[in-house]
Chains A and B, each alone.
Chain A
């Protein structure tokens, strides 16, 4: 089955700096890669996603890149703000079969210091 590795497990940055979180996946059939932000005690919230036919996607301060050959994808947050502090999860999905199961990484605790 799919295995997703996520690094780093914790990341501390100064407000205004950039943050990068990296994930690798094992199943070459995976073709959908969402990123979720989870604040303490809250639900995972989809912040951006990318499909395998695209190499990069941006949404304001957030961008995701995908390298299908190397089987890795990354989340980039620019101009970080204290409200970006949360746990971020990457996930992978193979949607070619009959079910659409997400396999998650273990998460990255991002702390943005004012």
Chain B
């Protein structure tokens, strides 16, 4: 059984640019949730994907978007980057109908 993986590990972008982050879910898991963790804070829910469709969204603007692929891996896209988007982006995989979420190592994004 493989765990949740994310790429890249670190990324530096400038304001206004766009970024794509990737997540591979744990073997057998069909649901991926994305969270943003600012420094010194708890993770905040961005959205969740199940069967390639968005299945719930937190208080994030539309410039945060995502995809899920048939193999259950997922992407998080952020357009028009702002300085406040600097954070650790975590994905978590789970089984639909199951509460337990397992986190990946995260992608640390720095926006200059």
Contact = CB atoms under 8 A, between A and B. Distances in A.
A102 B101 CA distance: 9
B99 A95 contact: yes
B41 A43 contact: no
Contacts of A29: none
Interface stretch (A12-20, A44-52, A70-78): A44-52
A43 B45 contact: no
Interface string A32-69: 10101000001111100101000000000000000000
A101 B90 contact: no
Given A43-B90, A43-B104, A44-B90, A101 B45 contact: yes
A104 B56 CA distance: 16
Interface in B64-103: 90, 92, 94, 98-103
B55 interface: yes
B109 to A, nearest CB: 15
Given A99-B55, A101-B33, A103-B45, 19 more contacts: A4-B42, A43-B90, A44-B90, A49-B100, A89-B42, A89-B43, A95-B99, A99-B48, A99-B50, A100-B94, A100-B98, A100-B99, A101-B48, A101-B58, A102-B35, A102-B101, A104-B42, A106-B42, A107-B41
Interface of A: 4, 6, 32, 34, 36, 42-46, 49, 51, 89, 91, 93, 95, 97-107
